[in-house]
């Protein structure tokens, strides 16, 4: 999505800003040989630091996205309820098999559809309509 692309772009820009504006002796104290490498080959060393920092930040981002959901608990519960309702509806449709034949005459009085009894509770067809 657009938001995740912007998030990745912001991470890239921030890591690049940190890498281009830091002094190696102040920022990474305690890593042996890094100060020497920065003096001899600064571009390759900064590129290596960039990719290590980028992987670390993406790992933190993935952990944060895993721990903090994008949707509230009520939305997740509603989605689960809808999935269960959809599953129950499909189970009911599997048990229901009927051959229907339709015809039309154009004369609604002759068809006498209004004389058929209405569905009532307890009728097996009525429970299919309650979903």
From the number of C-beta atoms within 10 Å of its C-beta (0-12, 13-18, 19+), residue 49 rates as: buried
pLDDT in tens, 47-71: 888 888 888 999 999 899 889 888 8
Residue pair 45/34 in contact by the 8 Å Cβ criterion: yes
Please report whether residue 41 resides in a domain.
yes
Domain that holds residue 54: 2-67
Please report whether residue 112 resides in a domain.
no
Please report whether residue 78 resides in a domain.
no
- The residue assigned the tokens 């189970």 is 91
Domain count for the chain, please give it: 1
Please report whether residue 109 resides in a domain.
no
Residue pair 49/19 in contact by the 8 Å Cβ criterion: yes
At residue 24 the predicted structure's pLDDT band, cuts being 50, 70 and 90, is low
Residue pair 38/29 in contact by the 8 Å Cβ criterion: no
Torsion angle (degrees, nearest 10) of CA 68, 73, 86, 131: -170
Q: How many CA atoms does the CB half-sphere of 47 hold within 13 Å? A: 4
Please report whether residue 48 resides in a domain.
yes
Please report whether residue 60 resides in a domain.
yes
Please report whether residue 21 resides in a domain.
yes
pLDDT in tens, 96-114: 567 778 777 777 777 777 7
């Amino acid at each position: 999505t657009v938001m995740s692309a912007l998030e990745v772009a912001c991470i890239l820009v921030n890591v690049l800003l940190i890498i281009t504006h830091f002094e190696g002796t102040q920022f990474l104290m305690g890593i042996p040989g890094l100060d020497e490498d920065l003096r001899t080959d600064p571009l390759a060393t900064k590129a290596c630091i960039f990719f290590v920092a980028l992987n670390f930040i993406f790992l933190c981002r993935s952990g944060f996205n895993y721990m903090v959901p994008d949707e509230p608990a009520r939305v997740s519960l509603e989605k689960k309820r809808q999935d269960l309702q959809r599953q129950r509806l499909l189970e009911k449709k599997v048990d229901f098999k009927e051959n229907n034949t339709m015809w039309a005459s154009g004369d609604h009085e002759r068809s006498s559809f209004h004389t058929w009894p209405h569905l009532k509770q307890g009728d097996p067809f009525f429970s299919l309509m309650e979903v």
